[in-house]
Structure 1
Amino acid sequence: MTNTMRAAVCVRPGGPEVLEIRELPIPEVRPGWSLVRVAGAGLNRSELRTRQGHSPDVTFPRVLGIECVGTIAASADPRLPEGTTVAAVMGEMGRAFDGGYAEYALLPDPLLMPVTTTLPWEVLAALPETYLTARGALDTLDVGPGTRLLIRGGTSSVGMAAASIAAGLGAETAATTRRPGKTAALTAAGVTHVLVDDGEPLAVDRIWPEGPDHVLDLVGADTVAGSLRLVRRGGTVCVAGSLSGWLVPDFEPIARIPSGTKLTAFHSKDARGRTEVLQRVVDDVESGTYRPNVDKVFGLDDIAAAHRYMEDNAAAGKVVVVP
């Protein structure tokens, strides 16, 4: 092993151009932390916001990346022998300490989830944050056979994963997209009804006159109030994304939440360390039950282009970077 590694460093808040490829020392293992040889990292919009300077308490320069997959290069933890395939998600990766946009990452042992798989690295890299978040959100909603689910922000990586999982659960699914050209991708992911969100009221009543049983809202701030109006009376809206931002201005719960309707949330931080859930997801992708929904793979040298692609909302599924 050489003493240095290549990493994409966010040198200051700004546009994609602030991501620079640099040679850094390979971190040294310390108690409670293991060194991971990174084989792939999924990109997430939270990293885009951190790059823009919107994440509190993040200091620069910083190696971004709230998730990665790879193999153990060195560890003092007996459950993590060298060569073990692992995934890691959240836990302040890429914020309080350097994350997955590098050839190596030093990560806290509790974050590391050993998995057994034959999937290619770029496919495995598309799963942890996306599928654990989607699975957790659908469990929060109690989506099951015969239920009606509306996914807002359907062509986001979590939306595509949720559509695939919901189809496997036997739910009837509708999903929104702002780009008609992405309809085929949603259909392939298992969506029954595709709704183009063109700024006009969504015609959900044409599909389900009483409304969906559940709404998984991945758009967030701009659509929460509308989702509460769309779901059937007594149904549940789960907010699990923030494509439009984090804050809902002037939100009045009594005025905005219909009587008997439930508003909840699922935070992806609750997905960290869920090894058994991730292994089931991996197994279901290997068997063909779930689609991995990889949209595009970039090399580490092209990290700025990958961020531009993500920022332009060009993807229908997961964007992955490989060192």
Structure 2
Amino acid sequence: MFVDELLFFMYIFAGFAGVLAILMVLLLIKYRHSGNQQLLKSIRDFMLCTVLIDFIYFYFTYHELKYNENVVTMAVRVLDMCAFIGQVYFWTIYMREKSLFKEDRYKTMNSASFVLIALCVLLAIVSYGSMMDDYYLPKEGINEYLPITIEIIIAVTLTFIDLWYLKAALPGVAQKVCRRLMVGITVLLTANGIWNAILVIGLLLGKLNTFIGYTIDPTPILIFATNIVTILLIINEDFTALFKSEDHEESKPGSLTATMDDLAETYFLTEREREIMELAYHKMTNPEIAEKLCISKYTVKNHMHHIFEKLGISTRAELSALIDENIAAS
């Protein structure tokens, strides 16, 4: 009973963390109209799916504690699995948008992953909706290995999509912190998906306790960790739009402005990073830049760190040298 109560409260904490992350994204969307809306929306939708999963399992645990039974209706079963699938879908959208490499291969990946996600949703509706009863047992006349096979196919497919996009996106993410957080979230998603499949297979076999022993259910821990890591990602993420020279007046070739525009586009700097790079080149200190742009000096420091990472340099002297070399070359 103590373990069940502990899980109950852990789901509450996980839910609070998820709601906080969603609120942070909504605030960013509201006040950053010129930012990367697709990046923001993908994180928002990803967190909505995560919080939905949390509240579904919160309901499961509450119902079990109060009525000492674990009955799950068809609608809730299907919604639960579709939320897991939605997590993967919106997370892959984030990774695609975050990656700086906008290559043609993403067209193939997007088409293939969309088909695979649609297949998973269809299989989930068939399996969870028509092959299982309210206790996650096979309905009469249904061979237990049929829904088990479908569960394995869904788990393997979602894991493949997650790792496929992570492998493709990581080389195009300049910020080291964001790369680490992306890996962390992908690992947590994969672990939670595999664990959920193990639970469902154990229930279908009617041998959950013997199948997994008396292991404490890590689901609330995984959800809570996912929410916390996502909050850290939101804090460290730069949601401003990427710099595009076509959105600005054309500069004279070989000029300082044209050179900086080329560097900004080549190395995928944001509008704000392009602005700060020019001020830094003119020998302005972080406090001076902060005062001019009406932002904090810590924000300037963070932007400078991102600029250095993207350009592959580590000092202002190297930044000035890089710009001067490009002016001379042009």
TM range (shorter): under 0.3
Q: Which has the higher helix share?
A: 2
- TM-score, normalised relative to structure 1: 0.21
Q: Which has the larger Rg? A: 2
